[in-house]
Amino acid sequence: MALDVQPITGMPAKAAARLCNFVTGRSDLLNGHIQFLDSQVQPIIQTLPGAWVDLFGFASRLGNANSNQTLSENRIGSVRNRIAGYAPAINFQQYKGLGEAESGPDESDDSGYWRAVEVYVYAYKPPPPRPRPKRPKTPKLNTKFKLKMHANLNASVIAAADFSIFQIWDEAAGLCSYYTYWAGGVSGGLIPGAWLSATLPGDWNEFSVSKPMAVNKFAGPTRFSTAGGGPWSKNYVNFMGLPPGTQTIPNPLPIETGFTVGIGAGSSVGTLQLELLATRDGLLPFKGP
């Protein structure tokens, strides 16, 4: 468990510390917090009338984000009220409750490090506040997606060649990924004598996966099968590189595509390669419903 008071070094402050281990869900000061404020902060405030104070409140990632925001602000309030009693007027440059926005990934909250308030006391008005670090964002996880084929060229006589452009959209997360599919190898055409086809952009196909995953995780080994021509074609995608225990529903996944020029058929195994992530515009203009 972290100490109740952790000194912060490397700052141009007369006193700087992180007051940790606030009781989960509460904002009451601990004895260690009060001892630090009375012994380290109070003398500075009373001897330096121009002193300035910064306060930043935190909460762990347990519980509701809105409640954690309020909790971090209440913890700041407890510290601020204690300091305000040291002198008739205190220069508080800023006091911000940051909630769980900057807390780490430790959901267990055993350390108490994120149930805290940072205190900085400067002799005079300090320089502009330092930029607050941001927690890296990770792609959101979902089970429902939309898929669109933007183009396909398939050739199969004895040696097969296949190229496609796919777009997969996580509508709830507002994220899109563009993929290219490349395949080559031996193929026995599904229709005798049919060996070449080109497919135009199609509509969106809604589908689900068996476990939550990110929209950038569809890359890897993939089988693509197509047969037919004009508006009458059958197409199936089998994503074989999904995270362990995850598959599309159904599997393989039937998809509707655009008009197929020519009559062709083939089944190829290739690689789905991620080309662009986290944007609605990229290789081709995004046009969702």
Strand partners, 18: 6, 118
Please tell me the pTM assigned to this model: 0.48
State the pLDDT at residue 265: 62
How many Å apart are CA 166 and CA 103, to the nearest integer?
36
Mean pLDDT, the chain, rounded, equals 79
For residues 167-177, average pLDDT: 84
List, for residues 89-142, the tens digit of each pLDDT value: 777 877 778 887 777 655 455 568 889 999 999 887 655 655 555 554 556 789
Strand partners, 144: 208
State the pLDDT at residue 157: 55
The owner of tokens 């508006």 is 231
How far is CA 233 from its chain centroid? 37
The owner of tokens 């193929």 is 187
State the pLDDT at residue 129: 57
State the pLDDT at residue 77: 93
For residues 21-33, average pLDDT: 93
List, for residues 207-241, the tens digit of each pLDDT value: 999 999 988 899 999 998 877 665 667 889 999 99
For residues 11-27, average pLDDT: 89
Q: What confidence tier does 1 reach under pLDDT thresholds 50, 70, 90?
A: very low
Q: Three-state DSSP class for 174?
A: coil
State the pLDDT at residue 101: 72
- Which residues have C-beta within 8 Å of that of residue 284, sequence separation ≥ 6? 150, 165, 167, 178, 201
State the pLDDT at residue 196: 61
Q: Are 164 and 197 a contacting pair, CB within 8 Å?
A: no
How many Å apart are CA 167 and CA 18, to the nearest integer?
46
H or E stretch at 34: helix 31-36
* DSSP one-letter string for 232-261: EEEEEEEE-SSSTT--EESSSEE----PEE
Q: Please give the domain boundaries of the chain with CATH numbers for all domains.
A: 5-122 (3.30.1330.60), 142-277 (2.40.128)
Q: Are 192 and 239 a contacting pair, CB within 8 Å?
A: no
